[in-house]
Amino acid sequence: MYAMSAATESFAPTALSQVGLVVHPRRRLDEAIETVREWSRRHDVALGQVEVAGQNRRVADPISAADCDLVMALGGDGTALAALHAAASVSRPVLSIACGSIGALSSVAVDDLAWALDEVRAGRWAPVALAGLEASSEGRVLTVALNDFVVSRAGGGQVVVAISADGVLYARVAGDGVVVATPHGSSAYSMAAGGPLLAPGADGFVATALAAHGASCPPLVLAPESCLELTIEAGYGGLRFELDGQPSELKAERVELRLRRGYATRVELAGEEPPLTGLRRRGLVHDSPRVKIREGRSLHDPG
């Protein structure tokens, strides 16, 4: 999601012999899938489907991400996250196509799908390393999240979370829970909860309390080398964990979170829209009303 260096002007063709698809489980994708099939036939590229958990939709023969030169996500941000996780362990790049969604992680509109594949094949792209959030408990790695890691109440009553950074207590909050986000995930749940946006190039992660009851607990931005500790007390309604917006079966009373650099690789095309511009275009960030009013006046009264 970071801007490509202006010095990247010479390109070498990318050898593509196998592309693996990850598709949205329900969204209408017939035209997009047929475009990929036609492009693959034209360029003699094999096409398969990378299977992910909870995905029963079959559009191509199953294939391992390890056997792909490129993994392509067709859907929204959830599909892109599933593809990035699937490709992370075998270090394969992921090209995400936004099919009728906000698409913060999907830089390419579905109408430009064939063009995007042409750009990758021509080598006019750059690998962008995305950090993950490694969650561990009692010395054992539990999981890795790409966007955010959330602990929240599961029902009535509040959950109490003690937030510590590098062994130093920051705050103990009672409320709906805590969301911890990576830089590229900071524009998702964390921003909705009032957390800051970490701009492209920022290195670190952020913890934001969810509906804290009476606490003074501003969002906490941590250094990339820091360890965030969450000590959790469930209320009578219980608690739950969410990873990248999906419920998790994790069970722990104390979780340590660290940034894992270079966890996954996203394809960035030459001339791609800057991430901050994308947030404005999608309406997730917009100007204040006073600025818009002044702008409107100047358009109607240029003198």
* Residues forming the active site: 77
Q: Which backbone phi and psi does 32 adopt, to 5 degrees?
A: -65, -45
Sign of the alpha-carbon torsion through 65, 68, 70, 71: negative
DSSP letter for each residue of 134-182:
EEEETTEEEEEESSEEEEEE-SSS-EEEEEEETTEEEEEEEESEEEEE-
- Could you tell me the CA-to-CA distances from 202 to 112, 135, 146, 185, 267 in Å, in that order? 29, 21, 15, 12, 19
In whole angstroms, give the CA distance from residue 248 to residue 240: 7
In whole angstroms, give the CA distance from residue 152 to residue 155: 9
Contact present, 239 and 152 (Cβ < 8 Å): yes
**Tokens describing residue 281:** 């275009």
**Tokens describing residue 259:** 């940034």
Strand partners, 207: 180, 220
Return the percent helix, strand and coil in the chain, to nearest 5. Answer: 20, 35, 40
Contact present, 229 and 151 (Cβ < 8 Å): no
